[in-house]
A = this chain, B = another copy of it.
Amino acid sequence: MANAIPSRSENYSEWYNEIVKRADLAENSAVRGCMVIKPYGYSIWEKMQRALDDMFKETGHTNAYFPLFVPKSLFEAEEKNAEGFAKECAVVTHYRLKADPNKPGKLIADPDSKLEEELIVRPTSEAVIWNTYKNWIQSYRNLPILINQWANVVRWEMRTRLFLRTAEFLWQEGHTAHATSDEAMAETRQMLEVYARFAEEWMGVPVIKGYKTPNERFAGAEETLCIEAMMQDGKALQAGTSHFLGQNFAKAFDVKFQSKAGVLEYVWGTSWGVSTRLMGALVMAHSDDAGLILPPKLAPIQVVIVPIYRNDEQLAQISDKVKEIMGELRKKGISVKFDDSDANKPGWKFAEYELRGVPVRLAMGARDLENGTVEVARRDTKEKNTVALEGIVAYIEELLTDIQQNIYKRALAFRESNTYKVDDYEEFKRMLDEKGGFILAHWDGTSETEEKIKEETKATIRCIPFDAPREEGKCILTGKPSSQRVLFARAY
């Protein structure tokens, strides 16, 4: 192995970059701000997609596909949305290249192919989709429309970081249309619950559900719900958002329906999305200085088996036994890899699979064969045990379940021990600088206060938690009355 990975305590940010690159998750490309998602990283994303897609379908949604490009006039239609995204849009202006008359072998955009109307590479698809829904909706019988799309989107970013902030990223965006405000709000909530369940049950990442403040809402939404997760450096990461759009897009695109009562009304909308950003959250929530730690449910390889042998005969004997075990594991739906390559020593392999976050490692040598045992190492705690081969499949099944739960519990305990109630602004600033973490504090409810705190401390209101108890208090900055604490943190 090349240079050591910097430890988390040394340089958290560099640690993250190195883990992402060395575990073969992703790398920067030749295209400014765009990443290459490598096969190992992509196979984790595929598992996320499959799990989420199943949850979307279970809740009655279907997939569809809408165009990559948004004509400028459509983009402009919902003013707040346009204003929110205008500063980070890739703009297509020409549809042809031609030979550069001044430089042989080079090409230029053909001036004769200039578009009459520029096309925006979608930063999000509300505009294109609501312009389409307009034609699909006449009556209440056409509602609800419950559609999701898996797609790439582009938001130009000056400072990019693999997975966390890239100019192009992959995501899913749900776009639904409803006859009533209540139904749209119920959908908005339902999808946030789906995201929370996915984060906790699949990623092993505990999240806090809440409302965004008006300042932090999606451009064009009436209400934005979010899930917020804590990373190991105490910073927050927004892991998913679900927006109640009210009738904003329906009005911008003139989408009306005839109600049961025969009245023409504007349609109510929602949109909701999670992205490859979740890959960054997964890395930062669990991994350690030796590399990735993956929850078994999302690990492309759940069990790796490494043979320890001195000669070909020993390898052959070990292989026979291993193949038997592999067959049984696969029957149980457990993905397993046998690394019998002779290019690398066992110690190298151990380090490599630790780096890649494989949840369970088995090592089997000649003595194990004799004794009917195998060495089992779990990635999350690095514990090793010698275990009888008899009943090994059931043992591993249980172990995978235990690891899945353990990394969740560990992340939850970390968050709890790094969440503070603070009532004094000086202490608030000191805590942020010294400890980081989540701070529950009183806020007077104004955007001015929120912005001033952000300016002075770099902390933002991550959300107004759903489950925050009513509690009389005074705003940490202004001393004005407040009726509940909100969640402050520095964030990714």
CB within 8 Å of B: which residues of A? 27, 29-31, 34-39, 42-43, 45-46, 62-72, 74-76, 79, 82, 86-99, 105-107, 109, 118-121, 128, 131-132, 141, 147, 151-152, 154, 156, 168, 170, 343
Evaluate whether A34 and B97 lie within 8 angstroms (CB atoms) in the complex, with A90-B119, A105-B76, A121-B92 already known. Answer: no
Question: Among B43, B66, B79, which residue has its beta carbon within 8 angstroms of that of A105?
Answer: B79
A71: B residues at CB distance < 8 A: 30-31
Question: Contacts A67-B36, A76-B105 known; A91 to B82 CB distance under 8 Å?
Answer: no
User: Do residues B63 and A96 form an inter-chain contact, with CB atoms below 8 A?
Assistant: no
Write out the residue numbers on chain B whose beta carbons fall within 8 Å of the beta carbon of A121: 68, 92, 121
Contacts of A107 in B (CB 8 A): 72, 75-76, 82, 86
- Expressed in whole angstroms, the Cα–Cα distance for A74 and B34 within the complex equals 15
Question: In the complex the two chains form, what is the Cα distance from A62 to B82 in whole Å?
Answer: 38
**Contacts known (A62-B39, A106-B76, A168-B68); A91 close to B95, Cβ less than 8 A:** yes
Cβ of B147 and Cβ of A30 under 8 Å apart? Answer: no
Name which residue of chain B comes closest to A77, CB basis: B105
Minimum CB–CB distance from A177 to chain B (whole Å) comes to 13
A66 cross-chain contacts in B, Cβ below 8 A: 29, 36
In the assembled complex, the CB of A61 is this many whole angstroms from the nearest CB of chain B, namely 9
Q: List 24 A-B contacts (CB under 8 A).
A: A29-B66, A30-B132, A31-B69, A31-B71, A31-B119, A31-B128, A38-B64, A39-B147, A42-B62, A42-B63, A43-B63, A45-B65, A68-B152, A68-B154, A68-B168, A76-B106, A86-B97, A89-B96, A90-B94, A91-B97, A93-B93, A93-B109, A95-B156, A109-B118
CA distance A154 to B68 in the complex (A): 9
B90, A63: Cβ atoms closer than 8 Å: no
A63–B91 contact, CB under 8 A? no
Q: Which residue of B lies closest to A343 (CB)?
A: B141
Distance in Å: Cβ of A232 to nearest Cβ of chain B: 26
Are B37's CB and A65's CB within 8 A?
yes
A36 near B132 (CB under 8 angstroms)?
A: yes
Q: Which 4 pairs across A and B sit closest by C-beta, in order of nearness?
A: A34-B67, A39-B62, A37-B65, A86-B97
Q: Provided the pairs A76-B106, A105-B79 are in contact, do residues A95 and B86 lie with their beta carbons within 8 angstroms?
A: no
Give Cα A343 to B43, complex, Å: 44
- Bound: A86/B95 CA distance, A: 9
Q: How far in angstroms is the closest Cβ of chain B from A137?
A: 14
**Across the interface, which residues of B come within 8 angstroms of A131, CB to CB?**
30
- Let me know if A168 and B69 touch, CB within 8 A: yes
User: In the assembled complex, how far is the CB of residue A369 from the closest CB belonging to chain B, in whole angstroms?
Assistant: 30
**Smallest Cβ-Cβ distance to A67: which chain B residue:** B34
In the assembled complex, the Cα of A249 lies from the Cα of B481 at a distance in Å of: 67
Task: Give chain B nearest CB distance to A152 CB in angstroms.
Answer: 6
Bound Cα distance from A381 to B71, whole angstroms: 45
Q: Evaluate whether A86 and B82 lie within 8 angstroms (CB atoms) in the complex, with A30-B71, A63-B46, A64-B42 already known.
A: no
User: Quick one: given A38-B64, A168-B69, are A128 and B91 in contact (CB under 8 Å)?
Assistant: no
